[in-house]
Structure 1
Amino acid sequence: MAESTERTPSRELLARAPKVLLHDHLDGGLRPQTIIDLAPGAGHELPVQDAESLGKWFRDSADSGSLERYLETFDHTVAVMQTRDNLRRVAREAVLDLAADGVVYAEIRYAPEQHLAEGLTLEQVVEAVRDGFVEGQDEAQRDGQPIVVRQLLTAMRHQARSREIAELTTAYRDQGVVGFDIAGAEAGYPPTRHLDAFEYLQRENAHFTIHAGEAFGLPSIWQAIQWCGADRLGHGVRIIDDVDTGPDGAPVLGRLASYVRDKRIPLEMCPSSNIQTGAASSIAEHPIGTLTELRFRVTVNTDNRLMSGTSMTEEMAKLVDAFGYGMDDVRWFTINAMKSAFLPFDERLAIIDEQIKPAYAVLGVMS
C-alpha cells in the first residue's frame, strides 16, 4: 500500500526518495578522512589533521561569497588525486556516498588535466576513475542501492587544453564518459574562447554542458547557448536577470530567458553552492523558486558536497523548507534531471519508468 505523505516531507522521506544528480564535482566530494589518509603519501600538508575539523575547515573556507576563494579549497583535494590508486578510491567512495543518499543516477565531472602531477596520462586518469565508478556501482548493487554513474570530462576555461579534452571525451564515450564541460572562473574566460572544442563535439554528435551564468551574467549564458551550442547550463542562475516584472506584477521573460525556457534547456542549479559563491544571497531568495514557478527545466544539484557540507537530500530539504515544496515537486525535479541526462534515451526512460516512478508511487506520489 502506498504511504500517505505530508505536505512538508521529512528529511527521512526525502532520503528514501530516488534522486538524480547532474552537477557534482569529483574533487569537491571527497570524504575528509580520505584526504587525511592520502595526504602523507602525496607529500601534502593539510590545515588540520582530524576529519571533523577538516570538514569544517572546507565549509568555512568555501563560505566566503567569492567564487575565486571557493576554488582555492580544491588545492587540497586535487593534491591527493594524482595516482591511479587514489583516483580509483575517491571515485569508488563518491559512488557509494551518493548511493547511500538515494541517488539512482549521477554524472560526476572532473578535469583530467588537473591529475597529471605524478606522471599519469590523461587516458590513465579517465580509466582510473572509470574503474572506481564500476567498483562503486557493483558494491552499491550488492548492498541493495542500485546506482548508475557516468563521467563528464571538464576542461579548465583558463587553460588551453579544451580541444584535447574534447577528443578524450569522444575517445571514451563507450567507456562511461557521457559528456564534456568547461569550468573555472567565468570572468575573463568566456565560453567562446573554447569554440574549437565545442564545434568538434557538435561534429562528433557528443553532448556537453557549460558552466555559465554563475559568477557572470547573461552574456556568459548567451555565448554558451548561441555561440557554443550547450545542451545544458551549469548553474545558469543569472538567467533570472532576463526576467522582469510587468505593470500587473506578472513576470515578463526577455528574449534569452524565453529561448531557454522554450527550448527546455536544463539548468543545473546548485542552491547551497550558489550561496557560498555569492551567486544568490539565501536559499529563500534563490532564483530557483521563480524559475521553478515559471516551469523552466530546473534540476537540483550538489556541486561540491565537501565544500558545501551537503547532499542531494540536504539540497531538497532546504528547498522544501524555503519554498514549501512537497514530494510531488521533488519528483518533478528528479524526472527533470533524468530527462536531461546525457545517458541514451532508452536507458533514461528505463530508470524513470522502472525506478523513479515506482519508488515515488510507494511514497504516495503518483504524478
Structure 2
Amino acid sequence: MGTKVMISPSKYVQGAGALAEIGAQAKHLGKKAFVIGGKRAMSTSKGIVEESFKKEGIEAIFEHFNGECCDPEINRLKKIAEDNAIEFVVAVGGGKVIDTAKAIAAMMGKPVVIVPTIAATDAPCSALSVIYTEDGVFDRYFVLPKNPDLVLVDTSIIAKAPVRFLVSGMGDALATWFEADSCFRSSAKNLPGGYSTATALSLARLCYDILMEYGKMAKLSVEKGVASPAVEKVVEANTLLSGIGFESSGLAAAHAIHDGFTILEETHSVYHGEKVSFGTLVHIVLEDRSWEQIEEVMNFCVEVGLPITLKQIGVVDPTPEKIMKVAEKTCEPGMLIHNMPFEVTPKMLFDAIFAADAIGTNYLKERGMEV
C-alpha cells in the first residue's frame, strides 16, 4: 500500500458556553471577520459573537445566508467579503452554510472558523464542500486545500436545537465506520488522496461505538434541551469523529446512495443524515453483512428515530423506474459507490435498495410500528 494521509481541523473546541470564547480563540486569524449564517442561527448567536469579537478588537460584518450551497450564493457572498476586505470567514449554522463559508474562504485564500449550531452533519471539520444546484440537487464535491482553522462547538446551543437535527447527525455518523471499513478493504484512496491510517480507522470505529452506547441517552437529553455528558459524546461523534473518519478513511455506498436519492424531489424535505441512514442499511445489505449487524443498525435507527424504509425518506411510491434512476445516478463514473471492495452495477444496487426497504418494513411490522 502507498502513502497514508490523515487530515483534521487545526483546532477543535467544544463545550457548553464555548461560543463566548470565539474572540479569544480566533484573534490570531485577523481583525476583520465576515460572519454568515441563517436567520435562526444568527438570532441565537449574533450578540454573543459580536461581544466576544469586540473584546479582542475584531470588527465583524454579518450577512444572512440564503439557504442553498450553490454557485450563485457562494459568488454573492464572496463579492461582499471581497468588497469589505475581510481577513477571515465565520460560518454560524448548519451544513449548507458551513460548506458555503468553507468554499468562500478557500477561493479567497483566507482562514475559516466554523460554529455549528446543530450537530446534524460532519461538515464542520472537513476540507470539503458539497455543492448543489439552486434547486437542491447534488452537483459536485469541491475538495478544499485545507481543513477549517477553528471549529467551535457550543453544546448548550446544539442542545436547544430541535432534536431531529441531532438525530440526523447520528444518521450521518452511523455510516462512517461501514464506509471506512469498505474503503480500507478495497484500498480506496481517501479524500486527501492517500490511504487510511490506523488512527483514522480507529476514530471511525469509536464514532460507531459511541452512537450505539450513548445515542438514545443523548436524544432524550436534547428533547429536554440540556447538554448532558451523553450529548457531549454524541456531538463529538457526529462532528469530530465522523468528520475525521469519513475524510481520512473514505466514503462509499451509504453517501453515494444519498447523492443518488437527491434526484427524487420527494426526498428533498428529508435531512442529509436521514437519507444517509437508509443508505447505510442499503450499504450493509449490499455487502452481505451478518443479520446480527443489520439488526443492530435497525435497532439503533428505530430507537433514536432514523429511517429504515423508502417511505420514511419520502419515497411513498417507489416504482422500479424511479429506483433504477437512483441506482443509475449512484453508479455514474466518479461516484463514491466505486470505493466499495467489489464492482457495483445499477442492477445490484436496485436490488439492494428494494431488499433493504423490505427488511426495514418487515422489522417495523413485526414490532407493531407504523409502516
TM-score, L = length of structure 2: 0.27
Task: Report the structure, 1 or 2, having the larger helix content.
Answer: 2
